[in-house]
Amino acid sequence: MRREINGIMAVLELGRLRGDLEAFQGELMQEFYSNYAGIKDDLITAPIYERYSHLFSVEAIEVARQSLETVKPDEDFRWTRYLRTFSTLGHVENAIKDHTDKANTWETRAEIVFDGENIPYRMVPVRLRNEPDTERRHRLYEAKLAETERLNEILLPRMQSAHDKSTELGFKNYRDMCTSLKGVNYRKLAEVMEDFLKRTEKVYVDNMNGLLQDKLHSSLSEVWSCDIPIAFKGEEHDEYFRKDRLIESFSETLRGMGIDTRGYENIHIDAEEREKKTPRAFCAPVRVPDDVRLVILPMGGWKDYEAFFHEGGHAWHFGTTDKNHPAEYKYLGDNSVTETFAFLFNYLPTDGRWLKRYLGMEDSKEFERFAVLNKLMFLRRYASKLIYEMKLHENRVGTELAEVYMTTLQKGLKFKHSEKNFLEDVDDAFYCAEYLRAWIFEGQLRSALEEKFGENWFENQKTGEFITELWSYGQKFSADELVQTIGYVELDIDPVVEEIEMVLGK
């Protein structure tokens, strides 16, 4: 394809652009896997971006844009839109790749010196979650925040460069760029989530105060963000959530749905303990569907089950994707879709019927309330993050946004936050919105499964057929499209609110 762009004759072929997409994704994901899995200290993506720089050039953006314009009305246009989004966001990521590498390498190597002990920066959240002494926990948190200030010296110019690049590309701001490329009305979603915060405030405050008084002997307004994980540790339930049942219970669940995990040799589970392995579980789709890796560092307790089942939802989604799909449908598209499948499995270990069947928990009412409150807290947290990021990405970021972050999160969650997390607590390209859309879609999908296959849908062999068909689409369809295939007109948060009110009250 030859196009004249700003007086320069473009020679980049659309076929090459599409063909190299998969190779780039594979190399990039392999690099991220090696670093986050604790196999290598440094994260070096710059050479990868340099090898595939043609994918993110201004020329590539224009080729993708013009391809979108030439699609006929009766043709499948999605891949052209996804390709344009990939090239444009990749152009921004390429521009800030050195900052990204520096930040991730810093996180891998940094250590907190605390009471004579050197603690890896990435492991501090684990230590906070397991530190029962409030005074010691707060001192460790302060020590981490002192290092976070150093990280901010890398993250601030990184975010500023991303904002500058979005305007250079002709967008009003970074928010406008993401809205235009992803086709998501973030303003409307923020309004939905602001309403959600109002609708659930009383039930949240009442239940959180009860939990914190019971666990920490403190009120909601007195605690800090570093206190919340230990309040939700739930060690009284550990006897049911044994490490040796973690992987097998997931396999048994899939078999109950008619899906035999033994047939998925393309999915590798990495549960090895490594000193610098990130404690945050993740899925690395290195080559979809042939090489998918599920990575977890088991710490014990119910959170291991949530994390593993969440990433299992990702892994089996990518591992079941039709290999004949073009790369755009295997790697790109609406990430709310894969997050929906992740959440669908994420919440099975908090379902009373599943708990009784697979973990032998006969009376799960107390735990279910505990888990749904945790879910509500995270929903309110991400709603608050979206509201904050709407402001963050409106203009070029500066240190004045630190206070906006603190006040916005404190308003939504009612407990204390540090302004120093105003950049570390942000994922690129409004990914917080993709989580929120997935939470909404998951509520609707679960309702549809219960209606179609019964309350114990996870024990119905026909459920597997239904879900594997959805998985096979990869990310060809958006969440807005898929929700219509299960009987809804649009994404609707009401099923989520109804679940919360049913378990926690109004």
Per DSSP, the residues of 4-30 read EETTEEE---HHHHHHHHHHHHHHHHH
* Per-residue pLDDT, 286: 98
H helical segments located in 52-133: 58-69, 78-95, 97-109, 124-129
Helix extents (H) in 350-430: 352-354, 365-392, 401-413
Domain spans of the chain, in order of start: 3-174, 186-504
Contacts of 85 (CB under 8 A, 6+ apart): 181, 182, 332
pLDDT of residue 67: 84
Task: Check if CATH label 1.10.1370.30 holds for domain 186-504.
Answer: yes
Q: How far apart are CA 471 and CA 182, in angstroms?
A: 21
pLDDT at 9: 32
Question: ∠237-241-244 over CA atoms, to 5°?
Answer: 150
**Could you tell me if 441 and 172 are in contact, meaning their C-beta atoms sit under 8 angstroms apart?**
no
- Cβ neighbours, 10 Å, residue 289: 23
pLDDT of 282 reads: 96
Contact criterion met (CB below 8 Å) for 147 and 112: yes
Encode the chain (506 residues) as per-residue pLDDT tens digits.
344 434 333 446 888 899 999 999 999 999 999 999 999 989 899 999 999 999 999 999 999 888 888 877 666 788 999 999 999 999 999 999 999 999 999 998 999 999 999 999 999 998 999 999 999 999 999 999 999 999 999 999 999 999 999 999 999 999 999 999 999 999 999 999 999 999 999 999 999 999 999 999 999 999 999 999 999 999 999 999 999 999 999 999 999 999 999 999 999 999 998 888 888 899 999 999 999 999 999 888 999 999 999 999 999 999 999 999 999 999 999 999 999 999 999 999 999 999 999 999 999 999 999 999 999 999 999 999 999 999 999 999 999 999 999 999 999 999 999 999 999 999 999 999 999 999 999 999 999 999 999 999 999 999 999 999 999 999 999 999 999 999 999 999 999 999 999 999 97
Q: Quick one: how far is CA 292 from the chain centroid?
A: 17
The Cα–Cα gap between 273 and 298 comes to 8
Predicted confidence at residue 258, as pLDDT, reads: 96
Helix (H/G/I), strand (E/B), else coil: 111 = strand
pLDDT at 6: 40
The most distant pair of C-alpha atoms in the chain lies apart, rounded to whole Å, by 72
List beta partners, residue 282.
295
The pLDDT score that the predictor gives to residue 352 is 96
Who contacts 213 (Cβ-Cβ below 8 Å, separation ≥6)? 219
